Structure 1
Amino acid sequence: MCRKFHGAAFSSYGGAKSEDFRWIEGKELLTQFVAENGTTRQFCKTCGSSLTFAEPNDTGEVVEFALGTLDSEITERPDVHIYTDFKANWFEVEDGLPCYSEGRDSERIQK
């Protein structure tokens, strides 16, 4: 789903505690799509930019947002790969980070 949604090998999301996350402007421009697997994605009604991602069992404690939408430099680094069962067949995860078949609650795959 991520590859098709983004038209790329994978998508890059960051997480923030809900109480630390706020929309500065344009909240009225948000719309959402719920996929067959229950995943909810928010995006901009005007330009179509992917903005947030939530799994079906999401508690709402963390907002997962598309890193490419940030204006500031990203200082944090990846800590995990999720949904690796659906990665592009030509892309190999070789950075030694934990890989999960689906979300963080799914089976961990040893790479």
Structure 2
Amino acid sequence: MIERFTDQQSNPGYMRWFCRRCGSAVPRLSRNKQYFVIPAGLLDDDPLAKPERNIFWDERAPWLLNIDMIPKFSEGIDSIIRET
């Protein structure tokens, strides 16, 4: 069953939709009603669409880094660092 929560504090009127049973976010219509927002965690396959931009970058969490600035490993933390 899908549940709706309407924010009354941080973003008054903004609605969040989620599964009442497991708490997962569910697809929803965008604010301008022009497209659907699909939470990435719901996808089983490559959606083919790739990220095009980071929005609200100035408001990001202080611990969030630009992914291009951190090392990339082939496998686990002890594996060889990949050249980008």
The one-letter code sitting in structure 2 at the alignment partner of 1:44 is C
In structure 1, runs of 5+ residues without a counterpart are 1-28, 96-111
Higher RCO (CA-CA < 8 Å; seq separation 6+): 1
Scaled by the length of structure 1, what TM-score is found? 0.47
> With structure 2 as the length reference, what TM-score do the two structures score?
0.59
- Determine the C-alpha separation between the residues in 1 that align with 2:28 and 2:65: 23
In the alignment, which of 44, 53, 78 is matched to residue 51 of structure 2?
78
TM-superposed deviation, 1:92: 2.5
Please report the RMSD computed on the Cα atoms of aligned residues, expressed in angstroms: 2.3
Structure with the higher fraction of residues in helix conformation: 1
39-48 or 77-86, larger mean C-alpha shift? 77-86
Give 1 or 2: higher strand fraction: 1
Question: What SS does structure 2 have at the residue aligned with 1:50?
Answer: coil
Q: Which runs of 4+ in 1 moved over 2 A?
A: 52-55, 82-86, 92-95
- Note if contact 1:40-1:54 (Cα within 8 Å) is conserved in structure 2: no
Structure 1 Cα separation of the partners of residues 55 and 26 of structure 2: 18
| Counterpart Cα distance in 2 of 1:63 and 1:69 | 13
How many residue pairs align between the two structures? 65
Structure 2 unaligned spans of 5+:
69-84
3-state DSSP of counterpart to 2:18: strand
Please state whether the residue corresponding to 1:51 is helix, strand or coil. Answer: coil
Distance 1:78 1:69, change over 3 A: same
* Contact 1:53–1:64 (CA under 8 A) maintained in structure 2: yes
